[in-house]
Amino acid sequence: MAWRGWSQRSWGCGPAWAAPVGGRGCEELTTALAPPRLFGRRFTFVIQQKCGFRKAPRKVELRRSDTGTSGKAHKRSALIPPVEETAFYPSPYPIRTLIKPLFFTVGFTGCAFGSAAIWQYESLKSRVQSYFDGIKADWLDSIRPQKKGDFRKEINKWWNNLSDGQRTVTGIIAANVLVFCLWRVPSLKRTMTRYFTSNPASKVLCSPMLLSTFSHFSLIHMAANMYVLWSFSSSIVNLLGQEQFMAMYLSAGVISNFVSYVCKVATGRYGPSLGASGAIMTVLAAVCTKMPEGRLAIIFLPILTFTAGNALKAIIAMDTAGLILGWKVFDHAAHLGGALFGIWYVTYGHELIWKNREPLVKIWHEIRTDGPKKGGGSK
């Protein structure tokens, strides 16, 4: 098995500037200051000072966590969308902004694994019927005249040749491509920035934690993430199964975004993030933890190979260094959150969550099998 891609997740933050104001003379003085462009617009601040004691000028400052100084133009990463038309307002009580995302993370994770358990129950129940339907379909195909060049038949043949993992992630890749195309529609950019980028300073906090997992603004960013997901799809689905993998993947996207929220609030470095890297890091970490001796390679350096265990250690070390040193290009907190969740799930979470799903499955089985009793009499 060869790993041929690095997962990436973009990190962007707003610009900053400081505009000191000074008073002159005893008469009313109007000073107009034009600070550097903020989000693509020029703002003019008018300060009036009356005769009397001069007060110390108060600096107006916006926090910025990206590169550059206050006098230089803001440099935005090519992986994130422009946010000129979207203003973000950090809460004066930053800890409170994490309450709703915390409840959303816990609730969504529980619903994801509960739905996956019911999905698996329904899949197992329908396999027998599908088996007989398959036999009937094969018999009809044998007596039916075959059409040459049938496009639908070729699509079915290609689909049947895919592994279970590849068929599972095909829907995820299609959703990412659709969202990528929506980013190209100019009239939707404001909506896409609000709902498909995660930022604790935004008015919408919860739904972007999931939607941003399917959101990519850069073609290179999306292609790299989807290639890594495709490469690891067979291994992770063989390890967990289709239903459990989908629950873990969706939960990982939300959990990694919550870790990113916590880091942004703790450091005060607010900014939009998007991409599937947090969820993909969970998949990568889970596979590397279960198969540490597997051989991996980088897409651009296929000759250089290394073990999956060493690759995971290197990625965690790099993201830890990026988080501590304040590297601005990627959302290292989301990477670390996804990787740690993947390691925890395959080590402890599978036993703690998935193997204790039987009570829920029994309740669902009773609902599915117990119909209304005839006669209406009591026992």
| φ/ψ bin of 375: left (φ > 0), alpha (ψ from -120 to 50), beta (otherwise) | left
Give the side-chain half-sphere CA count within 13 A for 242.
Answer: 17
Give the side-chain half-sphere CA count within 13 A for 22.
Answer: 2
Give CATH for domain 95-135+173-370: 1.20.1540.10
Indicate whether 374 pLDDT > 90.
Answer: no
**Residue 11's pLDDT band (cuts 50, 70, 90):** very low
Domain assignments of the chain as residue spans, ordered by start: 95-135+173-370
Q: How far apart are CA 329 and CA 324, in angstroms?
A: 13
Query: What pLDDT, on a 0 to 100 scale, did the predictor assign at position 240?
Result: 92
Write the DSSP symbol of residue 74: P
Q: Which of 218, 335, 365, 378 is catalytic?
A: 335
Query: What pLDDT, on a 0 to 100 scale, did the predictor assign at position 308?
Result: 85
199's CB contacts (< 8 A; 6+ apart) are 88, 208, 264, 270, 271, 272, 273
Token readout for 290 is 């279960």
Contact 7, 281 (CB under 8 A): yes
Query: What pLDDT, on a 0 to 100 scale, did the predictor assign at position 303?
Result: 77
Q: Among 28-32, 107-111, 134-138, which is the least confidently predicted range?
A: 28-32
- β-bridge pairing 301-307 and 295-298: antiparallel
Indicate whether 71 pLDDT > 60.
Answer: no
Q: What are the backbone dihedrals phi and psi of residue 127, each rounded to the nearest 5 degrees, phi first?
A: -65, -40
Active site residue 216: no
Q: What are the backbone dihedrals phi and psi of residue 304, each rounded to the nearest 5 degrees, phi first?
A: -80, 115
Q: Which of 234, 235, 277, 332 is catalytic?
A: 277
Active site residue 335: yes
